[in-house]
Structure 1
Amino acid sequence: MELRHLRYFAVLADELHFGRAAERLAISQPPLSVAIRQLEDAVGARLFERNSKQVRLTPAGQALRASARKLLRQAEEAALEAREVAAGSAGRLRIGFVGAMLYRGLPQALRRFQAGHPAVRIGLAELNSAEQITDLLHDRLDLGFMHTARLPAELQSRLLLSEPFVACLPEAHALARRRRVDPAALRDEAVVLFSRVASPDYHERILAICAQAGFLPEVRHEVRHWLAVVSMVAQGLGVALVPQAMQRCGLGGVVFRPLQGVTALSETYAVWRPGPQNALVEGVLRALRQLRPAEAAKPVTTEGDDDGNESLQ
């Protein structure tokens, strides 16, 4: 049984006239008669009673009519959905993200994208970079936002934004009164650090900033999320170096200060596995580029005093 046979049957069931049905279908009458006979052979029952004067549905034909229309409607909907997915206007997107993306415009970008693509179903999962890579490789995610460009060959990536690191300090800390902080001033401080397991790149980049300043930090606490880093600093459990975007997290009890003489940047990558979802992926990336926070696009630069640590007055 072919969809073509069902379509011919449905039109003939409406018209009950081979000539008019053939005209609607833009075919000649003999192919229509052949198709109906083939359908009856496939079903195993006569669907029409026909003579020189009229064409009537048999009880079997009447029973098939509703089902045929339902199947044809489902086929049309399936084809439409396939076209919409190919065009990026429908489908499902499973997105992984590191927590800092909440402060880099991701929620606003997704709202914008969803407003223009109401038929797209979006699911979000907060995962570290390593977890996202695993899920992308196993087809559990379509798109990830992470902090590493060290990826398996099966994945593609795009640098989304770069931003400076800043010092995150308890608001009562002596360094909190400075307009900017020399990393060397953190030499004797307890440090809250992003876990190496959660993001080796971030862990190593922060250690490199400290090494450039001439010391190895005393790491008291390692956590898996940037919000946890800032929360622990707010509780007075140490200081931290965090991406500038975390200034927008809204937690009280902390201050953020630019770092003096530091050129290392926090980099965020969009990562995906090439495949049929690329139209949707590209749509989200376009929305995110439009809403990227301007202040995250370049490092903060300030002029300092003689010691490089101008105090707030």
Structure 2
Amino acid sequence: MNFKQMTYFIAVAEELHFGRAAERLDMAQPPLSRQIKQIEEELEAVLFNRGRSAISLTQAGEKLLERSRAILALLDDTKLEMRRLGQGAEGRLRIGFVGSSTYGILPNIVKAFRAAYPAINLSLQPLNNAQLRQQLVARMIDVAVARPALNDAEFAVKHLVKEDLILALPDTLDTGTREIADLRRLETHNLILYPEYPRPSYADTVINACTDAGFPVPKRVFTMDLQTALSLVAIGEGVCVVPSSVGSAPRNGIKFLRIEPEIARTSLSVNYRIDEQGVHVQNFIKVAQNVAREAR
């Protein structure tokens, strides 16, 4: 019994008249009668009580009518759901992101995406670059917000914003009214770096930038992520070089100074698989780029 036969049966069951059902279906009565007979033979059940002047549903016919209506309704719902998924109106999007992006434009990107596509379920996972690459390859996430980018021949990269590097230091350090950091005066402080592994990573970006600026970073303390690094700064364990957006949010125990001359810049990007065909990913990229343009 196929879907077309189901519509034939429903028409006869609702009209309880083969002639009216055939007219409703825009077909001749004899083929319709043959289709109903074929259904009964296939199901091995009589569906209609056939009288001289009227027909009625048998118990099997009543049950089949109930099930057929439910099946066709589910089919219609499925078609609508697939259409909405294809148009990007609903579904799921899995986003991986580096922790420092939450201080920058990522929250605004997420807000803008939710406003434009409220029926999309978002899954947000904080990961380092190595984890982002691994999960994007394995298709465990759909897009990756990385710093600065994920280098892989299978990935497409859209750069969003560039930021200066600034210095986070304990607010117990006496810097007077200065708003600019002199790296040469920090040789007696630990430089807190993250992540500890895998390498190379953002930690190496900072080390190389400091070395190129003539500051060899003699005292290094490694930790796993930005949040832990900031906590260590707050308790006076050392100082940390962070993207400028991190300094936009006040944090107890920490003050931020600009670094001059500029030692380096860092960027934020959104990365996705080249073979990604999902409309949700493409919509997210467009929203991210629009938000980034407005932030410049």
Identify the TM-score tier after normalising by the shorter chain: 0.7 to 0.9
Q: Distance in 1 between matches of 2:221 and 2:123?
A: 31
Match of 2:68 in 1: 68
Tell me which amino acid in the other structure corresponds to 1:172.
Answer: T
> 2:286 is aligned with what amino acid?
R
Task: Tell me which residue corresponds to 1:308.
Answer: none
* Aligned CA distance change for structure 1 residues 185 and 8 (closer, same or farther; 3 Å): farther
**1:184·1:215 contact (CA, 8 Å) conserved in 2?**
yes
- Name 2:232's counterpart in structure 1: 232
Matched, 1:56 2:63: no
- The amino acid that maps onto 1:109 is I
Pair 65,208 (structure 1): closer, same or farther in 2 beyond 3 Å: same
Give the match's secondary structure for 1:221.
strand
Deviations 1:272-303 (A, max 9, x none): 235676311222233333444966x4xxxxxx
Equivalent position of 1:5 in the other structure: 5
What's the counterpart of residue 248 of structure 1? 248
Q: CA deviation at 1:238?
A: 0.6
Deviation at 1:44, TM superposition (A): 2.5
For the pair 1:189 / 2:189, whether they are aligned, the reply is: yes
Identity of aligned residues (%): 31
Sort the Cα spacing of 1:81 and 1:241 in 2 relative to 1 into closer, same or farther, 3 A: same
Q: Which contiguous aligned blocks of 4+ residues in structure 1 show a shift greater than 6 angstroms?
A: none
TM-score, scaled relative to structure 1: 0.83
Consecutive unaligned residues in structure 1, runs of 5 or more: 298-313
Spell out, residue by residue over 1:253-280, the C-alpha distance to the aligned partner (whole angstroms, 9 max, x if none): 2121222132632122212235676311
What SS is found at the alignment partner of 1:236?
A: coil
Which residues of 2 match residues 147-226 of structure 1 at below 5 A?
Answer: 147-175=147-175, 177-197=177-197, 200-226=200-226
Q: Match for 1:71: what amino acid?
A: I
Residues 176, 255 of structure 1: 8 Å contact kept = no
Q: State the distance in 1 between where 2:261 and 2:294 align.
A: 21
Equivalent position SS for 1:218:
coil
Alignment coverage as a number of residue pairs = 296
Offset from partner CA, 1:4-54 (integer Å, 9 cap, x none) = 222332233222233433444444445544443443343232323446633
Evaluate the alpha carbon distance shift between residue 294 and residue 248 of structure 1 in structure 2; reply closer, same or farther with a 3 A threshold: farther
The alignment yields a C-alpha RMSD, in angstroms, of 2.6
**1:186-244 Cα shifts (integer Å, max 9, x gaps):** 34431000125256341221112111112321343222222222221111111111011
Deviates more, 1:83-92 or 1:171-180: 171-180
Name the residue aligned to 1:300.
none
1:280 and 2:280 correspond: yes
Q: Does 1:101 align with 2:101?
A: yes
